[in-house]
Structure 1
Amino acid sequence: MEEIQETAELRQGKKEKKYSLLYVDDETTNLRVFKSNFRKFFNVYTTASPIEAIDILAENEIQVIVTDQRMPEMTGTELLEKILPDYPDMIKIILTGFTDIEAIKDGINRCGIYKYITKPWNFDEMKGVLDRAMETYQKSQDSEEHLKELEDTNTELERRVKERTEEINKINKRLIDSIRYAGLLQQSMLPNERYLNRIFADHFVMYRSKYLFSEEFIWTTSLNFRSEDYTVVAVIEFDGKGIVGSLKTLIADSVLNDLIQDRKIFHSGDIIKELTQELDAAGSKELQCEMKVSVALFDNNAKTLQFSGINQDMIIFDGEEMVVLEGESPEHAYDLMADKIEITEGSTYYMFSNGYYNQENQDGVKFSQEKFEEMLKSIHTKPLNEQYQFLSQTIDDWKGDSGLNDDISIIGFKL
């Protein structure tokens, strides 16, 4: 075991916090290489023994552990599973060969793995993963400050709301019990790749949150009911209430499942109407916040699309023609019509929050919706994975060193 500690660097006149990490690998050469590469960025603890690693964790404050998978004393997943009860907040990263990937995937939830990296790793990839891991850890610690605010909010809700559905009660209790993992809960609400690959011919999802708790999310479902065959996509964002906005996303997710999966509401305007009513009933006036929402309902048998929205648009490219389906203003939330159009094979659909085009650069200039639409015009014929890469690089270049000033949610897809 070796510890490398150096004086923290100065950034903008303030001392930059230097995080600590533990690297476990039975090959001493790998330990030396890792130490040599990262000693100036982090306090690095190294050991070739998983057993000794447990002792190091007990004696030191470690934020991130990186471990090889194949070791003689125990595997990396066995080590991470063993330490999980005592160190639930520690970020856990595992190094593995291609032959181990399926085993690692099976152990992600069991062991609390944050990331797995295939060997051999390179410096830039590893440095990027470690930086993001430290940032995630810090966000998790910062979420403690939100706990008291959430408890006060929940007390106010319990006092003022006379009736509440059993599902909302479960969500509130689950949120209080799992506040440290609220960000992970929101991530779990997003449609996973396997599901999206099943319901769409091609797609991409761009989802970035300003803080640990996001105020928006993307929701999808595919439902076969008797002779009916529907695909539903929704983008929802709440505005300006911080922890209340993130709480609303969890409630909205549950309500959408009830409206479509259980109550079988297949009218995009009625879905938004019922969603608005349920959310209005879930809190006092002081706890309400503005909702922007768009719902696209595809009837796969009739080959038609219904669209309704509140302060959100949808963009469709049919060949070279761009069609913008515009959302209504909030006062129409209870009497929304549904634009119905024919589905054309090969069309590309985009649904999005306002976070991308509201992103400011270092001079405080917003990207703008006009520029966003022009960008989609220029890239809509490219494969959707290339579109995602282009959108990501463009917004990163635009914001530069400034952080996100809003959450970003975009989904592009073909049926």
Structure 2
Amino acid sequence: MNGEQLRDLVPAVIGILVRRGADFASAEDAVQDALVEAVRGWPDSPPQDPRGWLITVAWRKFLDAARADTSRRRREVRVEGEPAPGPVEAVDDTLQLYFLCAHPCLTPASSVALTLRAVGGLTTRQIARAYLVPEATMAQRISRAKRTVSGVRLNQPGDVATVVRVLYLVFNEGYSGDVDLAAEAIRLTRQLAAKISHEEVAGLLALMLLHHARRPARTDSDGRLVPLAEQDRSRWNRHLIAEGVELLQKALARDRLGEFQAQAAIAALHADARTVEETDWVQIVEWYDDLVRLTDSPVVRLNRAVALGEADGPRAGLAALAGLDPALPRHTAVAAYLHERAGDPVTAARLYAEAARSAPSLPERDHLIRQAARLNSPPRR
């Protein structure tokens, strides 16, 4: 059993411990301790029933901790390398655990950290490295989150919209440290999709797969950012694209459109175009119109301005951009692109340089600097 398969067992085991009477924070700690033993011992002596083994050892860990906290507990627990005879609880609380980790009482950052720890089975160190923060900082964040939800019962109804939002935040972190958060988000969303039939869960998974399919072409051999229009589309993962499109089509057939389905539809149109010239920008604008109605998000309106500039010309894009707040992230970069398309390289170069100063990442900053330098360079004779 590999690490991913092992982590897949975590939410169900936590749920069973909570059902037996453990509080959430203690159950999660006990399961993490059991995972450490599994990593150490399973390569040499794997159990016949991994789930049962984890439940048995985690329950022992919980009771040991409880005894250490109070001398009034006097229970004898016999634990062998294999679980005790008899059936293990068949109830799966994985779905409720997703809801708990994305509870409205938590901040988005806390929900993400708790989801990666309790549902994803990652260690605090792995999560800290992925988010480029000290391990002690992440440990405090997770501890506060666990205390916050400690009184929330697992049988309370959850909000799917909040869960998918948290998973989307995980996916957008991409890759850093020693954990590929984009791949982890896809794994967790697949797990969620297997537990619940919901069109937005399917839409989110489709969106992730369609974006992830383009990942090999997003940077060149030197690690520099490659814009979508310049990517080598032969490097896109067609298997992931096909899976994403199929998921999207099934979700759209339910006729309950949500924002993640609309985003996935836009991604599918990009993926369907074999060349940038074949991109159906008119239909992309229509999907952005749907997204604006669903979210009224300034970021969506900004992306719509780009699509409108491709569909109806750069002047139309600039007109749409004029109604948006210039302080909006990437607003200046979009304005630079549209001015260049409109035949105004002087303004475009100035705006590219300005956008570089506030770029959210080093690869994006370097890309914008190169764009400004390209326009400022004298033409070759």
TM-score between both structures, scaled by the size of structure 2 = 0.34
Q: Name the structure with the higher strand share.
A: 1
More helix by share: 2
- TM-score (norm: length of structure 1): 0.32
